Structures are given as C-alpha cells and as structure tokens.
Amino acid sequence: MEVEVRTEWLSELKKTDPEMFDAIKKELDRQRTGLEMIPSENFTSVAVMQASGSVLTNKYSEGYPGKRYYGGNQFIDLVEKAAIERAKRLFGVVHANVQPYSGSPANMAVLLALCKPGDVISGLNLTDGGHLTHGWKTSETGQLFESVPYHVKPDGYIDIDEVRRIAMERKPRVIWVGATAYTREFPFEELGKIADESGAYLVADIAHIAGLIAGGAHKSPSPYVHVITTTTHKTLRGPRGAMIMVTEKGMKKDPELAEKIDKTIFPGLQGGPHDHTTAGIAIALLEASKPEFRQYAQQIVKNARALADELMKNGIKLVTDGTDNHMLLVDLTQFGKGKGVFVQDALDVAGITVNKNTIPNDPASPFYPSGIRMGTPAITTRGMKEAEMRTIGKLIAEVINEVKGYELPGDKEARQEYLKKFKAEVAENKKLIEIRQKVSELCSHFQLYPDINP
C-alpha cells in the first residue's frame, strides 16, 4: 500500500520532544525562505525522506544480501539488491557496494583495498579544489599513504602535464580524479591513459557530479576508470550515504577487485549497514533514471552558467571564468585577501547560503580564505531557471559590494573581536535586510515541500 504524505508530518515528534520539533520546524522555515546555494546540498524527494525515516532503521543486517550474520533479513535483501542493480544500470558498472556510511569512509575503503600503508597516492591538492580524503596532510589518507598531489594551472584547469610527470616518476598506486571545488569537466579520458601507462588505479570520486552524470550533463567516468566512489546526497538528490562502484575496466585489471572492496567495507571498516539509507538511495537511483531527471540535470548546468555570466557582468571574478557543472568558485582577491568569511556571513544575513572556500594560490589561510563556493542544485530543485539566476546574481553582487571594505586584522588576537563586531553590524545592515526581503519574496514563488505541514 502506498504511504501518503501526512499533513502533520512531525505530529508524533511534536508531542514527544517539543524542543527537537521546534528546531526542525525552524530549519524547514529557513530552507523554505532562503536560497540554499552550497553546491554539496540539495533537497530530497518526499519519498526519499519517508524511506529514510521508515521501520528499516530498526534492523541489523551485517553482511551482504544472502550472506547475513543476523536472521530476518529477507526484505532487507530486497532493498539492497534493488539499490545495487539500479546503481549498476544507471552508471554502467559491473559491481556496486551501497553500504558505505558516507563519502569519506568510502574513499578510505578504496585506498585500504588497493594500497598498503606507505604506498604513493596522488590527487588534486586540497587548496586547488581537491578533497581531504584524496591525500591531504591532515587526513588519515595523507598520513597512512605517501601523498604526492597535483595542482591546477594558473587558469584554474587541472595540470595534466603535472599529473603525467608524477605518474611516470613516482608511480602512484592510486590516482584520484574528483574534487570539492573544481568547476570544469573532469578529464577522465586523459587521466585514464596516464593511469594505464603508469600502472596506477584510477579512482573517480564523483560525489559532486553523480547526478549530472546520471542525467547526461557530464561525461561518465565508467569507460576510463577502475573504481568510482560517490556520495548520494548532492546532485543525485538522495539521502546522506555513499556508494563504491567497480567498472568493467577495473575488473579486467584485477578480477578480485570487487571482492576486495566489499571485504574492506565489511568487516574491515563497518558493521551493520544503515538499511533506511539504503532504501533512500534505491529510490533516488530510480528517480535519477527517469527522463525528467535528465532535464533537471541539464537545467542545473544551464542555471550555473547563467549565474556565472550574471556575476561576471556585475564585476565579480570567477575561478576559470565560468563553469561546466553545478558549481561556481568566486575569487574575491580583487577586494583584498581573506574576504570569504565576510561575504559568507553577509550573504547569510541576506538569506543566501554559501560557504567560504580557498581559491588556487590563495594568499590567505584556509581558515580565512579568499573565495566563496556556490552552486545551483538545490535552487534548481525548487524550479528556478535562468531568469531567477540573473536576479540572484545581481543580489549576490550587491552583497559582495556592501561588505567589500571590511579588512581582516593582521593580528590574530584582534580577529575574533573584529569578526564579532562585523557580525553585529551586518545583522543590522539595512541593505542586507532589504535584500533578505527580496530573497524571501523570490522563494515564495518556488515553494519547498508545500504538502508538508509540521
């Protein structure tokens, strides 16, 4: 029997724990009335939320379908098998593990399955847009393994020649392709050739672009890489989980590759899978296989490009001068260094949620970076298109110009007091409050979860 959307979505929670009810209701109101523009965030479907909050959270299912360590898993097996088959079809792979709790443990599992401690690995440098788990020095991936990162060129594009040099000279066991702040299409084919020449495993971390790949808005890595990792909650619009997939090319390189990865996830790193999340993943994969999702993925990219054009028309500089995907990286150094924290907080007051972010060759520290990162998945989910992107681009430019005069003190002791004063000032800034009202009005025309009444 189909479960209907309940009008009183959190009625039981309201009676049991008013404090939690109030916090969740306020967060729903925040999401409804503001522009969620962090590129790693999105809004799931109601069906995904229902599965994620279902009775599947009650079950223990250590092991894999047909090979469980607990009884009573006959229906859990149906759920996990469905998620696996849908992932294989959608991404054109021969094996999928849908049990990783999140993206970072999935990436660690791949490294532990493919490498020995001390082996050389190579991924995009963190401050050039890469990810912590691709070998950054403060991550266990950069401490258990010898990390030799590659970088972007002055134009912001991946330095393919440097990747080739590292591959041939250092012979990394694993080369990562993927990022957390890279706005151009990934060169899967070129890196695949380099990996083949050097003998490395090429692993594509598509966490940010999985939905774009599923919808045909970004090239697929499947023909060129050996392993694919992804989270499921970004452009894919699923719950907060992850997957590891092995390609046909990967199985040709090592026929035991899928088995090694499965054993590393369980029993190597994890216990029982989160079955409620697995169900949510399965639903998201089904949704992503439909024709309307292809239109949605294409619109995400159209919106990002329209937003990029509007920001540049308003004098705002972007890393690589544009985007091929869902993401924009704004370079604020024209106004000085370390401006990201000011712009992020000012945009928050204006009802626009982004995150401060380093830019390539950032003159400031990662704690006070010189850029902001934004994206279009969540606002595209709400139905916004190019016309709205032009409006939003103008508003963001206005906010940036409103706070561009703030300067971070050189004295570290004075910074916290200065930032405290800054936050108090922007909270009362009439221009930002006026923009907040415009944002709220815009959002009222693109309702979020209209059938849910807490």
The predicted pLDDT at position 437 comes to 98
256/311 Cα distance (integer angstroms): 49
Q: What is the pLDDT of residue 265?
A: 98
Task: Mention every residue, 6+ apart, whose C-beta is less than 8 A from residue 181.
Answer: 129, 327, 329, 357, 358, 373
Catalytic residue among 14, 25, 59, 60: 60
Position 35 pLDDT exceeds 70: yes
Token pair 């090319």 in the structure block, residue: 249
Q: What percent of the chain has pLDDT over 70?
A: 98
**pLDDT tens per residue, range 106-116:** 999 999 999 99
Predicted pLDDT at 1: 30
Side-chain-side CA neighbours of 156 within 13 Å: the count stands at 21
User: Taking residues 280-285, what's their average pLDDT?
Assistant: 98
Task: Single out the residue of 96, 123, 149 nearest to residue 202, CA to CA.
Answer: 123
Integer Cα distance of 293 and 332 in angstroms? 34
- The catalytic position among 80, 205, 388, 402 is 205
Mean pLDDT to the nearest integer, 418-444: 97
Whether pLDDT at 446 is above 70:
yes
Mean pLDDT, rounded, for 342-357: 98
Q: What is the pLDDT of residue 142?
A: 96
Is residue 252 part of the annotated active site? The answer reads no
Which candidate in 173, 234, 339, 436 is catalytic? Answer: 234
Q: What is the pLDDT of residue 8?
A: 66
Say what the pLDDT of residue 383 is: 98
Res 412: pLDDT: 84
pLDDT, tens digit, 9 for 90 and up, residues 380-392: 999 999 999 999 9
Tokens, residue 238? 């699923």
User: What's the CA gap between 421 and 345, in Å, rounded?
Assistant: 12
- Which residue out of 14, 41, 59, 62 is catalytically annotated? 62
Distance CA 340, CA 358 (A): 8
**d(C-alpha 304, C-alpha 274), whole Å:** 33
Burial letters 364-379, b for 16+ CB under 10 A, else e: beeebbbbbbbbbbbb
Name the band, by pLDDT with cuts 50, 70 and 90, for residue 6: very low
390 a catalytic residue: no
Q: Do the bridges between strand 227-231 and strand 201-205 make them parallel or antiparallel, or are there none, so unpaired? A: parallel
Question: Average pLDDT of 39-47?
Answer: 97
Tokens of 374: 């934004």
> Do the Cβ atoms of 150 and 170 come closer than 8 Å?
no
How many CB atoms are closer than 10 A to CB 268? 14
pLDDT of residue 411: 86
Strand partners of residue 318: 330
303: left (phi over 0), alpha (psi -120 to 50) or beta: alpha
Q: How many CA atoms lie within 13 A of 131 on its CB side?
A: 24
Active site residue 62: yes
The yes-or-no verdict on residue 4 having pLDDT over 90 is no
Residue 90 has pLDDT above 80, yes or no: yes
To the query of whether residue 231 is one of the catalytic residues in this protein, the response is yes
* DSSP states along 296-346: HHHHHHHHHHHHHHHHHHTT-EEGGGS-SSSEEEEE-GGG-SS-HHHHHHH
Judge whether 247 counts as a catalytic residue. Answer: no
Radius of gyration of the chain (CA): 22
pLDDT digits (tens, 9 = 90+) for 291-334: 999 999 999 999 999 999 999 999 999 999 999 999 999 999 99
How many Cα atoms within 13 Å fall on the side-chain side of residue 319? 31
How far does CA 170 lie from the centroid of its chain? 30
Taking 3-state DSSP, the helix, strand and coil percentages for the chain, each rounded to the nearest 5, stand at 50, 15, 40
Q: Indicate which residue of 44, 127, 180, 231 is catalytic.
A: 231
The H-or-E segment that residue 120 falls in is strand 120-122
Nearest to 323 by CA among 403, 377, 400: 377
Contact 400, 435 (CB under 8 A): no
* Confidence tier at 452 by pLDDT (50, 70, 90): confident
pLDDT classification of 363: cutoffs 50, 70, 90: very high
**pLDDT band at 9; cut points 50, 70, 90:** confident
Spot the catalytic one: 240, 260, 423, 438: 240
Residue whose pair of structure tokens reads 């050097």 in the numeric block: 198
* All domains in the chain, ordered by first residue: 55-288 (3.40.640.10), 302-444 (3.90.1150.10)
